[in-house]
Structure 1
Amino acid sequence: MHRFCAPDLMNVNHLLALLDRSGYLIADDCDGTARMPDMITMAMTDIDLPRGGDFASEIARLETQFDIIRYMRRITQIFGFKTFLICSIPAVEVERLSATTVISNMPAELLNKYDSLSMLRFSTGVRRLRETTTPFQILLEDWEKEGGKPDAAADYFAMLRENGLLQANYFPVHDAEGGRGAVILMGPEAGLPMTAAMELQMIAIHVYNRLAEIGSVWKNTNTVLSEREIQCLNWTAAGKTSSEIAGILGLSEHTVNHYLNHVTKKLDAVNRTQAVVKAMKKGYIS
């Protein structure tokens, strides 16, 4: 531990003003001098600690789309967000965000409302994604102030507020073929430290690359399965009945049947068994 007396260098207050953001300088309670911890043994503050762990090796071990959904749910929570969406960047002529969505745990009613109002045409985030390759964030109140949107957009903004989605952070990515995409995290309004933003950008790059490797990005993006649909398929593959799945997921049997019937149609399958087989081949479930 190195000690610096105020008369030898400068007063403690000035040192604190210069260095207090780095976390390295602390004041000695007994004599007012400042002491500088050894850089090697200095503990990082919570705000600087890597939160995603050894993400590169963990992401490389993910085998299916559902594995990645579970991983992204955890990352979303760790960094203080509420929901995520990973998509390829929509072409100008595309009108529905769901058509380019790869995976998401965004509430289905929000995505459906977004598409029904053609909000993609008014998306500040998507417009900026077409113009930049660096991460950025957009506040709901700023987007709301922009003109040109239909009056009904107010209903969508109200739904976002009800779900606590007041801010969206965008992380541009691309695959090995050059196709551009984005990992979008949404949640309450909060400043994201630079260290966290840098880590999330690296996580986004690795996740999108892994999605491409297992074929989820290059498959037909019109076939987008919700998290619940994937869960129902997984339990069906495990031999569970609709009644048993309902008990496991805390849903009604009617709701489970609705999810399974819907996903069977999405996968162009004749029955649930074929839907499970197709889902396995496409990497939705293992």
Structure 2
Amino acid sequence: MTQDRIIHDQGRDAFDFIDAVSDLHDPDEIIARFHRAVARYGYATFIITGLPGLTEPFETRVLTRHWPDAWFRIYTAETYILDDPVGWHCRVAPAPFAWSEAPFDPGRQPRSRRIMEEAASFGMKDGLCVPVHGLQGLDWCVSLGGPDPDLSPRARAAVHLMALYAFDGLRRRLLSPDTPPPRRLTAREREVIAWTAAGKSAWEASCILGIAEDTVNKHAASAARKLNAANKTQAVAEAIRRHEIPW
């Protein structure tokens, strides 16, 4: 299989999943579809959860999980969330990252090392964590693991999009069932999202459009709300899917 074909298939995987999830209303169907989709990239487990406070029980923030039951019992009983390097890095990371990229010192943080080693013993040797630091005050993550997941840049991008839509589909159906339907964007909102899709920062977009950076951020936030998107990445994908901006 050529590299171009691999890239095409990964992009198609993501948008096929997005289209399918948009038409699903049963949370169990969304979870099953997500499981099948990410399994193609070597992910056998995943959890979609909020990031709890220091005194908040981890299990109360879990939206859904596909973890081995024994591992979940150990993780919660030992309050591993307090020392999990993936969980801590998720709070500050601006983009998806591999579990093996989460910084910690194995010598000085033996409990963190133990968490990673025990996760590997349950078949989760590495994984991908997708932070959701939303434009609407969201503080969640989607964390996926497997024995040998595909962590290539293109695979990460595809799984990133699918994770965002799985999270948002479950969030809207389980936590916000009365979410209003998406509304059309204004011309300026489409411009801002289009430049975001082109990889421009808010400051760069402000220079191109001749408006203040704060105004760009306000238009981006408004577009995300209209599209029921959790953050800018999902807003871009949703705008493309709804033909608000060209692809």
- Shorter-chain TM range is 0.5 to 0.7
Letter in 1 for 2:142: V
Given candidates 132, 138, 153, the residue that maps to 1:173 is 132
Any idea what SS the aligned residue of 1:90 has?
coil
- The change in CA–CA distance for 1:170 and 1:150 in structure 2 (over 3 A counts) is closer
Given candidates 157, 160, 170, the residue that maps to 2:119 is 160
- The change in CA–CA distance for 1:47 and 1:188 in structure 2 (over 3 A counts) is farther
Q: Deviations over 1:34-71 (max 9, x none)?
A: xxxxxxxxxx2335522345122111112122112211
Residue 46 of structure 1: aligned partner: 6
Count of aligned pairs: 174
Residue 94 of structure 2: aligned partner: 133
CA contact (8 A) 2:45 2:146 kept: yes
Q: State the superposition RMSD in angstroms.
A: 3.0
Q: CA deviation at 1:163?
A: 2.5
Query: C-alpha separation between the residues in 1 aligned to 2:135 and 2:103?
Result: 34
Q: Deviations over 1:140-183 (max 9, x none)?
A: 998682533459x84x6564333221012101125674222111
Query: C-alpha separation between the residues in 2 aligned to 1:217 and 1:129?
Result: 24
Given candidates 126, 147, 155, the residue that maps to 1:188 is 147
Letter in 2 for 1:75: A
Given candidates 92, 115, 119, the residue that maps to 2:76 is 115
Tell me, yes or no, if structure 1 residue 147 matches structure 2 residue 108: yes
- The change in CA–CA distance for 1:116 and 1:140 in structure 2 (over 3 A counts) is farther
Letter in 2 for 1:185: L
CA contact (8 A) 1:102 1:216 kept: no
Q: CA deviation at 1:97?
A: 2.7
Any idea what SS the aligned residue of 1:145 has?
coil
Residue 61 of structure 2: aligned partner: 100
Query: C-alpha separation between the residues in 1 aligned to 2:66 and 2:173?
Result: 19
Any idea what SS the aligned residue of 1:102 has?
strand
Letter in 1 for 2:155: A
Within 5 Å, which residues of 2 pair with 1:1-286?
44-46=4-6, 49-50=9-10, 51-52=13-14, 54-94=16-56, 96-139=57-100, 145=106, 147-150=108-111, 154=114, 159-173=118-132, 177-190=136-149, 192-216=151-175
- The change in CA–CA distance for 1:140 and 1:214 in structure 2 (over 3 A counts) is same
Q: Deviations over 1:86-131 (max 9, x none)?
A: 011222333x432211111101110110111121110111111111
- The change in CA–CA distance for 1:63 and 1:192 in structure 2 (over 3 A counts) is same
- Which ranges in structure 2 are unaligned for 5 or more consecutive residues? 178-247
Percent identical pairs in the alignment equals 17
Query: C-alpha separation between the residues in 2 aligned to 1:209 and 1:196?
Result: 20
The two structures have a TM-score, normalised by structure 2, of: 0.60
Query: C-alpha separation between the residues in 2 aligned to 1:175 and 1:54?
Result: 23
